[in-house]
Amino acid sequence: MHNEEDRPSILSAGPEGPTSKTVSVDDFGAKGDGTEDSEAFKKAWEQACSSADGVALIVPKEKSYRLKPIRFTGPCKSNLTVEIYGTIEASDDQSHYNEDSRHWLVFDSVQNLVVEGGGTINGNGRIWWESSCKRNKDKALTFRENQHLVVTNLNIQDAQQMHVSFDKCVDVQASDLVVTAPGDSPNTDGIHVSNTQNILIASSTIGTGDDCISIVSGSQKVQVQDIICGPGHGISIGSLGKGLSRDYVSGVIVNGVKISGTSNGLRIKTWQGGSGSANDIRFQNVEMNNVTNPIIIDQNYCDQDEPCKERSSAVQVQNVVYQNITGTSASDVAIDFDCSKSHPCKGITLQNVNLKGEGDEAATATFNNVQTTTIGNVSLSCYKRET
């Protein structure tokens, strides 16, 4: 892990000033003994959020608090820190989710919020995985429309589906997180970024049943560094353009990542028929170990039972750099650029890419409708796929 001073900050502002008051959920009747504690958490939040002074809301250690779906809503009157020392566990009563089946814990419209403490957030997802439906995309921990947000030093495990979601946030630092679920748990993305600007995700370990990190439309200035990823589906931009939508992602830097035993490594995925762009993206200093599909651009992504129709429009993928990418591929094809006939991938640069297949042999690459530049040592046997 990098020291704090080693991290380049992309935050324009953040929570400032010490907290002068503490509020414990136990003071409002929380037991932490396996019974349901949602009302106590609501009352504690209302007290902390309405305080004119900086407040620390405490979830005590060595206790496990069981919660129904709950929304912690701002704006609050002062800077607020949530200190999670113990465990917060999702209710296993599925009737508790009838009102909102897509969210469990939500922090909504709060400025200058810090969530930390070294404790555990357990989504109790095993009861949901057998009946998992991708259309729901249930989220364990959601941050929505927060500005100047810090989320650090937490363990998030066994989410219903997505573990941590940042939606419509500005100026975020997420660091020192451990996000875990079994490799066969369905749709359990580690960290999901949507419509969020100026976010740093750093010094974290993520291993789940889906993308370690997924970055989707409306996200700009996203920096990912010092991440250990696996098991899972790697780091993905997209999917974009589903349902003929116009989607944009730009200014993404993925730096200093180790990816092991995943089905994909670095992936950009877009549906036919969409529009918009995935632009100004850099993957650098990435180590891969036994990754089945290390580098992918797929502009013909089709994650549905029936075949997708061929369409002339597409999300434009351009100005993507892969620099200092090393390691091993679990398949013969280490790089697969399957781009659109009508909107070919442009400005794709491979610099010092050394990916080997089984038996220490050079892996191959397939290029389809893509404009590439190679710089330095690119040790791949490449061929152009027939179109």
**160, 125 contact by CB (below 8 A):** yes
Exposure string of 313-330, with b = 16+ CB inside 10 Å and e = fewer, is bbbbbbbbbbbbbbbbbb
Q: What is the DSSP string of 60-79?
A: -TT-EEEE-SEEEE---SS-
Q: Rounded CA gap, 291 and 289, in Å?
A: 6
How crowded is residue 347: how many other Cβ atoms within 10 Å of its Cβ?
15
94 φ, ψ (degrees, to nearest 5): -65, -20
* Nearest one of 265, 174, 150 to 223, comparing CA atoms: 174
Beta strands in 313-362 (DSSP E): 316-329, 333-338, 345-356
Identify residue 252 by its one-letter amino acid code: V
Phi-psi group of 151: left, alpha or beta (phi > 0 → left; psi -120 to 50 → alpha; rest → beta): beta
Paired tokens of 10: 């992309």
The active-site residue out of 26, 158, 167, 210 is 210
Identify residue 270 by its one-letter amino acid code: T
Give the rounded distance of the alpha carbon of 301 from its chain centre.
19
E strand or H helix at 49: helix 38-49
Bridge partner list, 258: 228, 287
Does 233 qualify as catalytic in the annotation?
A: yes
| Sign of the four-CA dihedral 44, 46, 47, 52 | positive
Burial class (CB in 10 A: 0-12, 13-18, 19+), 38: middle
The active-site residue out of 233, 247, 336, 338 is 233
Q: Rounded CA gap, 75 and 373, in Å?
A: 49
Beta strands in 208-245 (DSSP E): 213-215, 219-229, 235-240
Pairing of the two strands 345-356 and 316-329: parallel
Burial class (CB in 10 A: 0-12, 13-18, 19+), 146: buried
Residues marked as catalytic: 210, 233
